[in-house]
Amino acid sequence: MERVIAYKEDRLHGAADRKKLADTPWLFRETLNPETFIIVPEVSSEKRKYVPMGFLNDDTIPTNLVHIIPDAKIYHFGVLTSNVNMAWMCSVAGRLEMRYRYTKDIVYNNFPCRNRLTRRKKK
């Protein structure tokens, strides 16, 4: 309860948009999540065969230690957890010590079949 009271006080002394949030100090500030998304950790062990990705919905608020791919379908999840994508990630990803760093700019955006992942429906 002490922490909730501290959050309320902090929000009351903040900017105008934060003052509105003082009425609900127990809630996260950012709650506008996509309906569905794939969650990808920023860093994963080099000993894993696959990066542990998840398929989640708006009941979960992701942290700053993950990337999300909004409005993803099960097809996208299948491609991203495939052996081909894992081999690509192992080849191009940056490293934190020996662990892989999965980034949107190097791994996801440059994946050779990315156009299939982002293809939009024709009108």
For 64-106, the pLDDT digits (tens) are 899 998 988 888 888 888 998 888 988 888 888 888 888 888 8
Q: What is the pLDDT of the chain when averaged over all its residues?
A: 84
Cα gap 57→73, rounded to integer Å: 11
**pLDDT at residue 26, rounded to an integer:** 81
Cα gap 115→123, rounded to integer Å: 18
Tell me the mean pLDDT in the region 41-45: 91
| Element spanning 95, H or E | strand 94-96
Q: Domain for residue 106, yes or no?
A: yes
Task: Based on the fold, state whether residues 55 and 24 are members of the same structural domain.
Answer: no
**pLDDT at residue 116, rounded to an integer:** 56
Q: Which tokens belong to 66?
A: 């993950």
Task: Based on the fold, state whether residues 72 and 99 are members of the same structural domain.
Answer: yes
Tell me the mean pLDDT in the region 4-8: 89
Task: Based on the fold, state whether residues 36 and 25 are members of the same structural domain.
Answer: no
| Cβ–Cβ under 8 Å, residues 33 and 60 | yes
Percent of the chain clearing pLDDT 90 (strictly above): 14
Strand partners for 38: 55, 69
Task: Based on the fold, state whether residues 24 and 38 are members of the same structural domain.
Answer: no
Q: Domain for residue 22, yes or no?
A: yes
Task: Based on the fold, state whether residues 57 and 25 are members of the same structural domain.
Answer: no
**pLDDT at residue 94, rounded to an integer:** 85
Cα gap 39→53, rounded to integer Å: 6
Task: Based on the fold, state whether residues 77 and 102 are members of the same structural domain.
Answer: yes
Nearest to 47 by CA among 86, 11, 6: 86
| Residue 79, phi then psi, degrees to nearest 5 | -65, -45
Q: Which residue has the higher pLDDT, 54 or 120?
A: 54
Task: Based on the fold, state whether residues 25 and 39 are members of the same structural domain.
Answer: no
Task: Based on the fold, state whether residues 75 and 19 are members of the same structural domain.
Answer: no
pTM above 0.85, yes or no: no
> Does position 38 have pLDDT exceeding 70, yes or no?
yes
> Does position 9 have pLDDT exceeding 80, yes or no?
yes
Expressed as residue numbers, the domain containing 68 is 32-118
**Domain tally, the chain:** 2
Strand partners for 39: 54, 68
| Cβ–Cβ under 8 Å, residues 76 and 113 | no
Task: Based on the fold, state whether residues 55 and 22 are members of the same structural domain.
Answer: no
Q: Domain for residue 123, yes or no?
A: no
